[in-house]
């Protein structure tokens, strides 16, 4: 279900809520203003609204599942990115170890060079002792040593260039990592916004759940009031039926007694003389008056039976959800009215099996009115049983529709909470990886500082060696000036200028590391 259908369901639910709150559910107002068919239609409409609310819950659940799938895909992308960072870390460590091995090899070479230079210093000292004997040989040795130093200096310049190139590449890699961290921060900000939206949706869902619960409680209250009203009407109709049947039984007994009296009087009339004819006529007038009174009472009894029949017909219409226009009451005799009452009782018995006693009661009343009181007393508990059974049935029909919707909403809330927990775990892992990257960057900077310190120490050592060599050469030059001609002294001065120039070049080279 897409977002358009979800919005349509929400708008429809809002309209149904407005219609629900505009409808008054007071029991007395319902009994005065609405008939049972309209009440049943309203109940069906409310059940449809509950079904729509359940569909809305299902739509929200599917949307929550989509969000969960999005979080899973983000987690997978994050894990892939973390693996790539780990691989880059491993490659950097391998490069660092390789550079460290190269630096150690260079240090070993420099130590060898130092040892060699120490041996050269010793040889120079020996040559200085023998300088007076073999000046040319010592000058040649010094030139060879200077050539080797120049070559070493060139090698150092090349090493410096390679180190600067490596430093530039490391800087570029560090900048790229910073860019990736900025991108990850943007993704984290988006995730936080999504969490805020999910929390707002959670509050909206909770409010809707509360409104649905309130509606359910109101519907339950209206149903209970309607059931109580139906039971009261049924009990009243049964009481009135019993009273009318009891009155008709009394009237029938009176008519039987009157008929017996009439028969006795007719026999007496046959035996009496013509002298009592006047008295007999007065007796016949009394009998006619009694018969006329019985006719009026019979009409009253039929009217009462008709009213009882109409009340039972309304009960049957309520139970069977049929319109009362199909069975219009027509005026008939007492026997026909009793037969119609029997038919109504049979329809009630077909709808509810617990009212079989009512059919038996009315059928027996049609033949003999003597057992009406006992049958009426037995019929009242059956009516209560029927109302209780119908209440249980309605409750059983309502509860299975409410439980799944609540379960689905609870499941949606639990899925949303799990997504938030996973997002928090993802943020913690992202912070951990960021801390690891910062630690690696710090270690890399420390290694660069150590290399710079070692280069500065090497520069100072070369300066010291150069100073010692210059001092020795100056002392040798002074000795040569004392013993040889000025031409030789000029050659020695030219030789001294060359190391000083080399010293300045060396200082300018190592000044790059200081900057």
pLDDT (tens, 9 = 90+) of the chain, 515 residues, equals 555 555 565 566 556 555 554 444 444 454 455 567 888 888 888 888 889 888 888 989 998 999 999 999 999 999 998 999 999 989 998 998 898 888 888 889 888 888 888 888 888 888 777 777 777 776 777 788 888 888 888 888 888 888 888 888 888 887 887 787 777 777 777 777 877 787 787 787 778 777 777 877 777 777 777 777 777 777 777 777 777 777 767 777 776 776 677 677 667 666 665 555 555 455 555 555 655 665 666 666 667 666 666 766 665 565 454 434 333 334 445 556 556 665 665 565 455 444 444 444 444 444 444 444 334 433 433 344 444 444 444 444 444 444 445 676 677 677 777 767 776 777 777 777 677 767 766 776 777 777 777 777 777 877 887 788 788 788 888 888 887 765 554 444 444 444 444 454 444 444 444 44
| Residue numbers of the domain that contains 290 | 234-398
- Rounded to whole angstroms, the Cα distance separating 395 from 301 reads 40
Assign 272 to helix, strand or coil.
coil
Residue 264, domain member (yes or no): yes
Residue 288, domain member (yes or no): yes
Both structure tokens of 213: 């619960």
Residue 337, domain member (yes or no): yes
Helix 486-514 and helix 135-271: axis angle, to 10°? 0
Q: Which of 241, 231, 455, 179 is nearest to 352 (CA)?
A: 231
Both structure tokens of 73: 């895909």
Q: What pLDDT score was predicted for residue 292? A: 62
Q: What pLDDT score was predicted for residue 206? A: 77
Q: What is the DSSP letter of 355?
A: G
Q: What pLDDT score was predicted for residue 142? A: 74
Classify residue 477 by burial, with Cβ atoms within 10 Å: 0-12, 13-18, 19+.
middle
- Rounded to whole angstroms, the Cα distance separating 392 from 352 reads 13
**pTM of the predicted model as reported, rounded to 2 decimal places:** 0.23
Residue 220, domain member (yes or no): no
CA dihedral for 455, 459, 464, 469, sign (positive or negative): positive
User: What dihedral angle (degrees, nearest 10) is formed by the CA atoms of 22, 24, 30, 35?
Assistant: 10
Q: What is the DSSP letter of 133?
A: T
Residues 327-342 as b/e (b if ≥16 CB within 10 A, e otherwise) read beeeeeebeebbebbb
- Rounded to whole angstroms, the Cα distance separating 511 from 515 reads 6
Residue 83, domain member (yes or no): no
CA dihedral for 340, 345, 351, 356, sign (positive or negative): negative
Residue 375, domain member (yes or no): yes
What's the helix, strand, coil split of the chain in %, to 5?
A: 95, 0, 5
Q: What pLDDT score was predicted for residue 338? A: 59
Residue 366, domain member (yes or no): yes
Number of domains in the chain: 1
- Rounded to whole angstroms, the Cα distance separating 382 from 356 reads 8
- Rounded to whole angstroms, the Cα distance separating 289 from 32 reads 44
- Rounded to whole angstroms, the Cα distance separating 115 from 120 reads 8
Helix 372-483 and helix 486-514: axis angle, to 10°? 170
Residue 434, domain member (yes or no): no
């Amino acid at each position: 279900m897409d977002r358009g259908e979800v919005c349509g369901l929400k708008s429809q639910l809002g309209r149904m809520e407005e219609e629900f709150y505009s409808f008054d559910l007071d029991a007395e107002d319902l009994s005065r203003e609405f008939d049972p068919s309209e009440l049943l239609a309203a109940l069906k409409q409310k059940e449809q609204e509950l079904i729509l609310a359940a569909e809305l819950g299902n739509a929200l659940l599917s949307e929550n599942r989509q969000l969960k799938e999005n979080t899973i895909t983000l987690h997978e992308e994050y894990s892939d990115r973390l693996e790539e960072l780990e691989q880059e870390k491993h490659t950097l460590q391998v490069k660092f170890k390789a550079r460290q091995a190269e630096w150690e090899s260079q240090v070993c070479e420099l130590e060898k060079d130092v040892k060699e230079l120490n041996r050269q210093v010793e040889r120079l000292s020996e040559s200085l002792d023998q300088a007076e004997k073999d000046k040319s040989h010592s000058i040649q040795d010094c030139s060879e040593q200077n050539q080797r130093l120049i070559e070493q200096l060139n090698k150092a310049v090349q090493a410096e260039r390679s180190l600067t190139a490596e430093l530039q590449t490391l800087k570029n890699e560090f900048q790229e990592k910073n860019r990736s961290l900025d991108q990850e921060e943007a993704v984290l900000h988006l995730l936080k916004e999504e969490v805020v939206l999910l929390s707002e949706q959670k509050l909206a869902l909770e409010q809707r759940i509360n409104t649905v619960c309130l509606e359910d409680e109101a519907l339950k209250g209206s149903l209970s009031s309607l059931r109580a009203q139906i039971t009261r009407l049924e009990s009243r109709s049964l009481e009135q039926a019993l009273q009318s049947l009891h009155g008709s039984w009394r009237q029938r007994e009176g008519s039987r007694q009157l008929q017996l009296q009439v028969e006795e009087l007719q026999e007496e009339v046959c035996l009496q003389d013509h002298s009592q004819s006047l008295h007999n006529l007065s007796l016949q007038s009394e009998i006619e008056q009694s018969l006329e009174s019985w006719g009026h009472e019979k009409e009253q009894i039929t009217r009462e039976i008709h009213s009882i029949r109409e009340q039972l017909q309304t009960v049957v219409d309520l139970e069977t959800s049929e319109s009362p226009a199909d069975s219009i009451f027509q005026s008939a005799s007492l026997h026909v009215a009793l037969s119609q009452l029997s038919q109504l009782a049979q329809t009630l018995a077909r709808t509810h099996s617990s009212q079989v006693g009512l059919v038996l009661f009315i059928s027996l009343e049609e033949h003999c009115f003597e057992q009406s009181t006992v049958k009426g007393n037995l019929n009242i508990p059956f009516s209560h049983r029927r109302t209780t059974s119908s209440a249980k049935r309605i409750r059983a029909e309502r509860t299975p529709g409410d439980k799944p919707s609540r379960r689905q909403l609870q499941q949606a809330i639990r899925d949303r909470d799990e997504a938030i927990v996973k997002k928090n775990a993802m943020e913690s892992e992202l912070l951990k990886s960021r801390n690891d990257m910062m630690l690696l960057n710090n270690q890399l900077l420390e290694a660069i500082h150590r290399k710079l310190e070692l280069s500065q120490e090497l520069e100072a050592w070369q300066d010291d060696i150069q100073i010692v060599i210059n001092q020795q050469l100056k002392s040798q030059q002074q000795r040569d000036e004392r013993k040889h001609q000025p031409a030789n002294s000029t050659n020695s001065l030219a030789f001294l200028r060359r190391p000083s120039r080399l010293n300045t070049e060396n200082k300018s080279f190592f000044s790059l590391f200081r900057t």
